[in-house]
A and B are shown apart, each in its own frame.
Chain A
Amino acid sequence: SQKIEQNSEALNIQEGKTATLTCNYTNYSPAYLQWYRQDPGRGPVFLLLIRENEKEKRKERLKVTFDTTLKQSLFHITASQPADSATYLCALETGTASKLTFGTGTRLQVTL
């Protein structure tokens, strides 16, 4: 069966460090992979999209990698700040479907 796995445990890191979040999937061949941020009680906010033929995408302090052989995406936040504390969701879209399938999310806590 199809599955998307993200670290279910919360990730606690110190301010200024790099946070690395993992998204692993099985039995998918996604055309796109997206990362979202969700704060408590709010809707998800789009962060980055990476296509299947792209290895890496950057936006300010954010970096996403996409390895279709390993079926894995890594999401990095450099120079983490307490304001980065939130739940981060990865989502896959296959070329034949117009829907997104989300992982369960990883809660990131950045402490001073």
Chain B
Amino acid sequence: KAGVTQTPRYLIKTRGQQVTLSCSPISGHRSVSWYQQTPGQGLQFLFEYFSETQRNKGNFPGRFSGRQFSNSRSEMNVSTLELGDSALYLCASSLGTGASGNTIYFGEGSWLTVV
């Protein structure tokens, strides 16, 4: 079956702009989590959605937001982009809410460069 699909794969934005990233989880998976990966900070949890509800949120400013649709697809938005937002943004899906012993499947990520 198809894996986690993230779009776009690569994008370049200017400081101050906003960006929306999309994630389609594996069919049947209802939990979607988002992570930011940078060389300096590693993989950091942004938020998790389950059945259209945000279940958990990491330590990121309010410029980072997300949502989940009834078909479990998810989007994340970053407003007022800063240079430090340049990163690989990874989406992960799992059957149940969060990890809880469930296998988590990551997408290939969206590479965001802010100039």
Contacts and interface: CB of A to CB of B under 8 A. Distances in A.
Contacts, number: 65
B77 to A, nearest CB: 19
A45 interface: yes
B90 A99 contact: no
Interface residues of A, number: 24
Interface of A is mostly: strand
Interface of A: 31-32, 34, 36, 41-46, 49, 51, 89, 91, 93, 97-105
A44 B43 contact: yes
Interface of B: 4, 31, 33, 35, 42-45, 48, 50, 55-56, 58, 90, 92, 97-101, 103-109
Contacts of A103: 42
A98 B100 contact: yes
Contact of A43 (B31, B97, B108): B108
A22 B59 CA distance: 26
29 contacts: A31-B101, A32-B100, A32-B101, A34-B99, A34-B104, A41-B108, A43-B4, A43-B92, A43-B107, A43-B108, A43-B109, A44-B43, A44-B106, A46-B103, A49-B103, A89-B43, A97-B98, A98-B33, A98-B48, A98-B55, A98-B97, A98-B100, A99-B33, A100-B45, A101-B45, A102-B35, A102-B43, A103-B42, A105-B42
A50 to B, nearest CB: 10
A45 B35 CA distance: 14
